Chain A
Amino acid sequence: MSENQNSSNCRISRNVLIKAPGLLPMLYTPREIAEDLDVPETTLRDWLNHGAPHSRDESNHIWIDGRQFAAWVDSQRNARKKPTHPLQAGEGFCMRCNTIVKIQNGEIRPVKGRLSHLKGKCPICGGIVNRGIWNAGSAELSQG
């Protein structure tokens, strides 16, 4: 019988992220898996309450499949990663609006070598938006 009470994300330490793939394809007790991952048993039980895969036998003892648990740890790591959005040509990050915007009235000034400085205005708040760009081309200015 599998249990998933709460599927919110957990903070997993780097040590656990490294050690979890080494878990064996067998059933562990919470104490054993806590020892192998070098975390307090209370922390592990907290993870179980937050959706870590486990099962209970007829005596209500908790069993954790090592491989399933390792996969869960990996999924937690991926779940905590923020989605990235690489800046496109003509885009910049407005520090006032705290968001990515299309730069208006952009001006490119060479800094050094292939590095250039794009300076323009935010279409939302009208503030100045700066961005460093490599190999500045006409695509950067076409948006402004």
Chain B
Amino acid sequence: MLDRQNYLKVKLFLKFSRDVHGRSSLQISTDFEHLKALLLWAGSQPISSAPAFNTSLPDFLFQKVEKGLIQSELKSILNTNQRFLLWAKAMFPVEFQNIRLSWIMKIPAISE
């Protein structure tokens, strides 16, 4: 079972993206699909402890690449996840204090 708090944070991020950044319904839908990878990766653990997970997010996604995920899609998934983590760190600074900004900024670069 996935952590419900992670799911609620993702939902909050999507609402924020729609209301504040004016992202369209299609973009929101795509973002949610991308963030599902993050939710599945985190599993039952809170995302705020992400750097301590056994498998890294890129490794998790590379397993999906072997199952047919396109490289360009992988890049956009990582970009969306980076946007979410940056937002989460800004919105929940205490909870996400263990996630360093440098770690978040490295996320999209890993796919190259």
A interface residue numbers (CB < 8 A to B) = 22, 24-27, 32
Decide if B64 is an interface residue (CB 8 Å cutoff): no
A26 touches B7 (CB 8 A): yes
A22 touches B2 (CB 8 A): no
CA of A24 to CA of B40, assembled, Å? 8
- Other A-B contacts than A24-B7, A27-B4, 7 sampled, CB-CB below 8 A, are A22-B33, A24-B36, A26-B1, A26-B2, A26-B3, A26-B7, A32-B7
Q: How many B residues face the partner with a CB closer than 8 A?
A: 10
Q: Chain A residues near B33 (CB, 8 Å)?
A: 22
Mark out the residues of chain B between 88 and 108 whose CB falls within 8 Å of any chain A CB in the assembled complex. Answer: none
A–B complex contacts, Cβ < 8 Å, 5 sampled? A24-B7, A25-B2, A26-B2, A26-B7, A27-B4
Decide if B78 is an interface residue (CB 8 Å cutoff): no
Q: Chain A residues near B3 (CB, 8 Å)?
A: 26
Nearest-CB distance from A39 to chain B (Å)? Answer: 15
Nearest-CB distance from A14 to chain B (Å)? Answer: 16
B interface residue numbers (CB < 8 A to A) = 1-4, 7, 11, 33, 36, 39-40
B44: nearest chain-A partner, CB-CB = A26
A66: nearest chain-B partner, CB-CB = B2
CA of A66 to CA of B24, assembled, Å? 25
Q: Chain B residues near A26 (CB, 8 Å)?
A: 1-4, 7
Q: Chain A residues near B11 (CB, 8 Å)?
A: 32
A24: nearest chain-B partner, CB-CB = B2
CA of A125 to CA of B39, assembled, Å? 63
Q: Chain A residues near B4 (CB, 8 Å)?
A: 26-27
Nearest-CB distance from B68 to chain A (Å)? Answer: 16
CA of A77 to CA of B2, assembled, Å? 26
CA of A47 to CA of B40, assembled, Å? 27
CA of A25 to CA of B1, assembled, Å? 5
